[in-house]
Amino acid sequence: MTRETRIETPSSSGSSPVTVRFDEGRHARARLGFILLATEQTIEDDMFRLAPPGVGVHFTRVWIPNKITVETLSAVKGELEAAAALLLPDGGLNVVCYACTSGSLVIGEKRVIEELSRGAPKARATTLITGVVRALRTLQARRIVVATPYLEEINALERRYLQGQGFEILDIRGMNIIKDTDMVRVAPEFIMEYARSLDRPDADAIFVSCGALRTLDIIDDLEREVGKPVVASNQAMFWDSLRLAGIEDAIEGYGVLLRMY
């Protein structure tokens, strides 16, 4: 579809009207905004990879040192409102999401969503951990195992948080990595081996936590091998954001969540 309007352009003989034709742009179906950590290197690639035609993905960042701890993640909360305000401030944003699993639960969903809503009041606000919870509930997964790259202090918070959401955590283990720049370098083959080693017959699903991990590369293979759903941070975040924007496209190649729900 196109629409027409007139704009005045200066010329040597004065202003002359020019009819300019506009279409709906590249992102007519939805515009999704993601707030990343300053050190993040995986999420942008994953979001562009998953985005269907007509859906735009837009990014801004908040400062954090190259050190993922409860202290550094908590300090980000004061930057979220300003960061959200940088994403399509004309009001065209449909969804705004804080794209950090551990940061979302350290600060708390409620506080994060309040900050995002102040910065982007016309967008629907969500967080990465919100998307994970919605994904697990949609898959009817109650008993789960969780693989992470985190320190134990973050794993302990994640366990309590997920238990508070009604999940039974059969096991949660971390790789004890502190630097974000190391998390992005964990080989996908190792992620698969690590997640598979946590699986148990009584687990309804495997959750691989952290947007820095390249879990998107191995979700389908891991699901085929273990015979159950695999939820990964970036997969769940994009699914949640897409559905909040009213986009129901099925996306192949990245697990049952995006393919079936």
In this structure, the dihedral spanned by the alpha carbons of residues 184, 189, 190 and 194, taken in order and rounded to 10 degrees, is: 120
Mean pLDDT computed over 245-260: 97
What 3-state DSSP class applies to 61? strand
Identical fold between 30-128+236-250 and 131-233 = yes
- Tell me: pLDDT of 5 over 70: no
Helices (H), the chain: 43-50, 70-74, 80-85, 101-107, 109-119, 128-138, 152-164, 180-183, 188-198, 219-226, 233-244, 256-260
Options 3.40.50.1860, 1.10.1060.10, 3.30.70.2970, 3.40.50.620; CATH for 131-233 is 3.40.50.1860
Q: Above pLDDT 90, what percent of the chain?
A: 90
Whole-angstrom Cα distance, residue 29 to residue 245?
Answer: 9
User: How far, in Å, are 21, 67, 100 from residue 234 at the CA level?
Assistant: 37, 20, 9
CATH 3.40.50.12500 is held by the domain 30-128+236-250: yes
Whole-angstrom Cα distance, residue 87 to residue 91?
Answer: 9
CA neighbours within 13 Å on the CB side: how many for 27?
17
Residue-wise pLDDT tens digits, 89-128: 988 999 999 999 999 999 999 999 999 999 999 999 999 9
Mean pLDDT computed over 83-88: 97
Residue-wise pLDDT tens digits, 51-67: 999 999 999 999 999 99
Mean pLDDT computed over 170-174: 98
Of the candidates 149, 159, 144, 237, the residue with the CA atom closest to the CA atom of residue 191? 149
Mean pLDDT (the chain, rounded):
94
Q: What angle do CA 238, 203, 101 make, to 5 degrees?
A: 30
Whole-angstrom Cα distance, residue 154 to residue 141?
Answer: 22
Q: Above pLDDT 70, what percent of the chain?
A: 94
- The domain segmentation of the chain, as residue ranges, is 30-128+236-250, 131-233
Residue-wise pLDDT tens digits, 180-238: 999 999 999 999 999 999 999 999 999 999 999 999 999 999 999 999 999 999 999 99
Q: What are phi and psi of 124, to 5 degrees?
A: -80, 125
What 3-state DSSP class applies to 232? strand
Please report which confidence band the pLDDT of residue 15 belongs to, taking 50, 70 and 90 as the band edges.
low
Please report which confidence band the pLDDT of residue 22 belongs to, taking 50, 70 and 90 as the band edges.
confident
